[in-house]
Structure 1
Amino acid sequence: MNEVTFRQATIADVKSLLRIETAVFSSPWSEKAFRNEFYTNQFAYYIVAEQNEAVIGYAGVWIILDEGHITNVAIHPDQQGNGYGKALLAELLRIAKEHSVTRLTLEVRVSNTKAQQLYKKFGFKDGAIRKKYYPDNQEDALVMWVEE
């Protein structure tokens, strides 16, 4: 397994984030949405996972006082199944804790049991259902949360 390193994402990473976003999600964020995260969302904090100087994944969190909302956790499909998603999420949670976050939430498709299992390994619990949350197919989202 080639070593994966993590660093804070910058605006220069937007093209890499888009490449991963469109490969992973059926309702991908736009370039404009990512640019907004870097330029105008004062609460946004993004990290990238790199392997051999190539971005293979990314994750984001909005940090608002002591609460965090995880926006995305994504590993390029070519690199999935190697434990990188788990490492990426662990790093994101470490950063959130460093920023005094005590409660984190996220939404995940009800059909994405693989991601739900990963989140549960980190102590996330099932919360509410957001009906018809995803615009591509009107799928419900499961809200999950964890408190430190």
Structure 2
Amino acid sequence: MMINITVRKLEEEYADAAYNVEQICLKEAWSREAIFELIDRKNAIYLVAVYDNTVCGIAGMYIVADEGQINNVAVLPEYRKQGIGKIIFDELLLEGKKKDVKLFTLEVAASNSAAIKLYSNCGFDVVGRRKGFYKNDDALIMDFRIDN
């Protein structure tokens, strides 16, 4: 069952909730200060997924020239398996395309099969591996190129 999600750009009113999502979901979460700094950064896109006034997911990316480095995608455990990850990830890619991003890259824990499946379904391919990138896991390097 799909729930009604609104995806919004990070604003100050959502920053603490976004920080909480990161703390709950990500092994290497960003600091509260780093999240607040993203609000006004021109080379960053940070989105929040909101359901019933609750921030239930986040997705962020830095842009350098025509490349987008996706840094974090997360959905609170109680909201998973409802399509929210795909909704916010698709919106992140769309926002990147609007800023002329031609190559999207990301790292994902080699053991995170759900995320790997999501990224693969969105057109990403595994292009490399970073041994020991995470504390107890390797990272797969994945990318997606826009052909115009």
Q: Same fold (TM over 0.5)?
A: yes
AA partner of residue 87 (structure 2): A
- The equivalent residue for 1:10 is 11
AA partner of residue 56 (structure 1): C
- The equivalent residue for 1:77 is 77
Counterpart-to-counterpart distance in 1, 2:101 and 2:115: 22
Counterpart-to-counterpart distance in 2, 1:80 and 1:138: 23
- The equivalent residue for 1:147 is 145
- The equivalent residue for 2:68 is 68
- The equivalent residue for 1:95 is 95
CA contact (8 A) 2:45 2:92 kept: no
Please report how far the alpha carbon of residue 72 of structure 1 lies from its aligned counterpart in structure 2 after TM superposition: 0.7
1:34 aligns with 2:35: yes
Counterpart-to-counterpart distance in 1, 2:12 and 2:136: 31
Deviations 1:84-127 (A, max 9, x none): 10111111111111111111000000110110010000110001
1:19 aligns with 2:20: yes
TM-score calculated relative to the size of structure 1: 0.90
Q: CA RMSD in A?
A: 1.5
AA partner of residue 111 (structure 2): S
Q: Percent identity?
A: 34
Gaps of 5+ in 1: none
Gaps of 5+ in 2: none
Deviations 1:9-47 (A, max 9, x none): 1233221111111111223222133234345x5421111
> Post-superposition, which runs of at least 4 consecutive aligned residues in structure 1 deviate over 4 A?
none
**Number of matched residues?**
145
